[in-house]
């Protein structure tokens, strides 16, 4: 398939904008085509910053975890000096997987095949052989575990990039950084990933989940049973009829919607179902937020909810609790999803329970809503395969002169998705490389 530049404003033939008729459309082959899948691997997942993990998951020296990010098996570790590393989980000798555990604490990793031993900083310590190698065999470090080309962190969130020439993480995050601050600032003691994350594999192209993650429009129809449940639970908190908010692109393909839903938040919005005991504690948290960040920002942190996407594949839902998800394509029609829940370190057990309850009833694969999203991905994928020459429409709330990467509209609209697709189009079409200009390059 030809996915080279054909349209003046856009850079692939798979994304189509018609400003006069206020139509923004995506060719369904973008969800089904093998060539697109390969291009995404080569370009999207090899050039973008990808979320690896949170510092709290490896809190102590010797802690490690293994994770597949963008198709590569990685080890995320903290060495004896406390420094954090990410390297490929493949032995420098013959390529065997070195670490087979999902997480743990260790002094060294020993490859099961010939017994090569690496420390937690990835340095080769021993080849398990008394003879056959010169004494200076690894003097240049060539046989250490191969480091991921780039590893950078923002507010304890660690990201990798497989392109050594990539722009820095801070520049990449663009307008999304402020939304990560709104999450990280909720805890004076820092945030932590709560034990019990879940991984799943589902039917459907990975981009369906990205669209879904900040799509408020589907809520009333697909999740009617969830909202009926919620209405029953928080009937007294006057949820209905008061919602307002916006959705927007944040640059670089990132996007968010934000609204004022009174569904209750451990930080820091009390509703009657939380119980009278919780009320003074939540009010105290709110007071501290006001002292620290001012009334306006504290209100925004406590009273408003956000679904944020960091391009290409990180979801941070700052709503009833805080959940973090990544999604990767396994094939054009299968995705893998990792889900974690985050909360303040040392959180009051009462609030920790509320937070987990909030999560459990909605966004988990066993909740009252997510299984229906997973059903919708399957339905969309089937339709896309059966009608490959059709377009998917992402026009809701479009304005004639909007800047696609920063489009802004009502939270029930689709502006944030247009920002995502505009960046996808720029990358796949070759108009954006996400590389820092080399000295002397004209940019």
Partner 1 sequence: MSDAGLRASVEDFLYREAELLDRWRLNEWVELFTPDGYYLVAPLGLDDPRNADPQSMLFLVADDRTRIGQRATRLLKKGAHAEYPHSRTRHTVSNVMIEDHDGDTVRAAANFITWRARNREVVSYMGRTYYTLATAADDFHIREKRVCLDLELLAPQGSLAIIL
Q: Return the structure tokens found at 107.
A: 């002094």
Please report how close the Cβ of residue 287 comes to partner 1 at its closest, in angstroms: 26
Residues 75-114 that bind partner 1 (CB under 8 A): 102
Taking the CA atoms of the chain, what radius of gyration do you get in angstroms?
Answer: 23
Confirm or reject binding of residue 303 to partner 1 (CB under 8 A): no
Taking the least distance from each CB to partner 1, the nearer of 203 and 260 is: 203
Using the Cα atoms of residue 265, residue 267, residue 270 and residue 272 in order, give the sign of their dihedral: positive
Stretch that binds partner 1, among 69-77, 106-114, 227-235, 433-441 (CB under 8 A): 227-235
| Burial class of residue 308 (count of CB atoms within 10 Å of its CB; 0-12, 13-18, 19+) | buried
Please report how close the Cβ of residue 132 comes to partner 1 at its closest, in angstroms: 38
Taking the least distance from each CB to partner 1, the nearer of 62 and 197 is: 197
Of the candidate residues 60, 81, 135, 195, the single one contacting partner 1 (CB under 8 A): 195
Of the candidate residues 111, 120, 374, 412, the single one contacting partner 1 (CB under 8 A): 374
Confirm or reject binding of residue 190 to partner 1 (CB under 8 A): no
Of the candidate residues 82, 164, 241, 349, the single one contacting partner 1 (CB under 8 A): 349
Confirm or reject binding of residue 348 to partner 1 (CB under 8 A): no
The strand order across the sheet containing 84-88 reads: 84-88, 72-78, 63-69, 103-105
* CA atoms lying within 13 Å on the CB side of residue 364: 14
Stretch that binds partner 1, among 24-32, 166-174, 209-217, 375-383 (CB under 8 A): 375-383
Of the candidate residues 108, 129, 142, 200, the single one contacting partner 1 (CB under 8 A): 200
Confirm or reject binding of residue 217 to partner 1 (CB under 8 A): no
Taking the least distance from each CB to partner 1, the nearer of 16 and 199 is: 199
Taking the least distance from each CB to partner 1, the nearer of 131 and 232 is: 232
Q: Return the structure tokens found at 289.
A: 């937020």
* CA atoms lying within 13 Å on the CB side of residue 152: 17
Of the candidate residues 70, 364, 419, 429, the single one contacting partner 1 (CB under 8 A): 364
Stretch that binds partner 1, among 119-127, 176-184, 282-290, 353-361 (CB under 8 A): 353-361
Confirm or reject binding of residue 224 to partner 1 (CB under 8 A): yes
Confirm or reject binding of residue 299 to partner 1 (CB under 8 A): no
Number of chain residues interacting with partner 1 (CB under 8 A): 39
Confirm or reject binding of residue 352 to partner 1 (CB under 8 A): yes
Q: What span, in angstroms and rounded, lies between the C-alpha atoms of 220 and 207? A: 21
Of the candidate residues 366, 401, 439, 443, the single one contacting partner 1 (CB under 8 A): 366
Confirm or reject binding of residue 376 to partner 1 (CB under 8 A): yes
Taking the least distance from each CB to partner 1, the nearer of 8 and 232 is: 232
Confirm or reject binding of residue 435 to partner 1 (CB under 8 A): no
Confirm or reject binding of residue 229 to partner 1 (CB under 8 A): yes
Residues 306-345 that bind partner 1 (CB under 8 A): 336, 341
Confirm or reject binding of residue 371 to partner 1 (CB under 8 A): yes
Of the candidate residues 79, 299, 378, 410, the single one contacting partner 1 (CB under 8 A): 378
Please report how close the Cβ of residue 356 comes to partner 1 at its closest, in angstroms: 6
Of the candidate residues 375, 385, 391, 436, the single one contacting partner 1 (CB under 8 A): 375
Least Cα distance to 437 among 165, 210, 226 occurs for: 165
Of the candidate residues 36, 202, 327, 412, the single one contacting partner 1 (CB under 8 A): 202
Confirm or reject binding of residue 363 to partner 1 (CB under 8 A): no
- Kindly list the residues in this chain that would bind partner 1 in the complex (CB under 8 A): 102, 194-203, 222, 224-226, 228-229, 232, 336, 341, 349, 352-353, 356-357, 359-361, 364-366, 368, 370-372, 374-376, 378
């Amino acid at each position: 398939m030809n996915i080279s530049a054909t349209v003046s404003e856009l850079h692939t033939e798979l994304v189509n904008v018609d400003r006069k008729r206020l139509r923004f459309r995506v060719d369904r082959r973008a969800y089904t085509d093998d060539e697109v899948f390969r291009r995404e691997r080569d370009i999207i997942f090899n050039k973008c910053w990808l979320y690896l993990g949170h510092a709290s998951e490896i809190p102590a020296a010797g802690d490690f975890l293994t994770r597949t990010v963008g198709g590569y098996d990685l080890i995320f570790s903290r060495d004896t000096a406390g420094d954090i590393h990410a390297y490929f989980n493949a032995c420098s000798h013959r390529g065997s997987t070195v670490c087979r555990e999902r997480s743990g604490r260790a002094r060294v990793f020993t490859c099961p095949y010939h017994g090569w031993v690496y420390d937690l900083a990835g340095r080769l310590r021993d080849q398990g052989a008394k003879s056959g190698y010169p004494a200076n065999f690894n003097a240049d470090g060539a046989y250490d575990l191969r480091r991921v080309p780039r590893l950078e962190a923002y507010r304890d969130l660690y990201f990798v990039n497989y392109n050594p020439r990539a722009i820095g993480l801070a520049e990449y995050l663009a307008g999304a950084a402020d939304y990560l601050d709104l999450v990280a600032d909720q805890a004076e003691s820092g945030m932590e990933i709560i034990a019990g994350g879940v991984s799943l594999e589902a039917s459907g192209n990975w981009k369906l989940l990205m669209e879904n993650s900040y799509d408020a429009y589907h809520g009333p129809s697909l999740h009617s049973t969830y909202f009926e449940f919620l209405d029953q639970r928080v009937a007294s908190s006057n949820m209905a009829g008061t919602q307002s908010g916006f959705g927007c692109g944040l640059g670089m393909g990132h996007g968010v919607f934000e609204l004022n839903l009174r569904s209750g938040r451990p930080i820091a919005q009390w509703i009657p179902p939380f119980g009278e005991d919780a009320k003074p504690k939540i009010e105290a948290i709110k007071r501290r937020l006001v002292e620290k960040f001012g009334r306006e920002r504290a209100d925004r942190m406590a009273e408003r909810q956000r679904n944020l996407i960091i391009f290409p594949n990180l979801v941070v839902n700052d709503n009833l609790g805080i959940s973090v998800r990544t999604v990767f394509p396994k094939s054009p029609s299968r995705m893998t999803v990792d889900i974690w829940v985050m909360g303040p370190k040392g959180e009051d057990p009462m609030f920790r329970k509320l937070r987990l309850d909030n999560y459990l009833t909605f966004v988990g694969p066993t909740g009252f809503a997510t299984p229906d999203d997973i059903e919708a991905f399957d339905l969309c994928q089937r339709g896309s395969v059966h009608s490959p020459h059709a377009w998917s429409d992402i026009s809701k709330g479009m304005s004639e002169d909007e800047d696609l990467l920063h489009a802004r509209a009502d939270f029930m609209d689709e502006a944030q998705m247009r920002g995502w697709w505009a960046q996808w189009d720029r990358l796949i079409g070759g108009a954006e490389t996400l590389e820092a200009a080399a000295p002397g390059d004209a940019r």
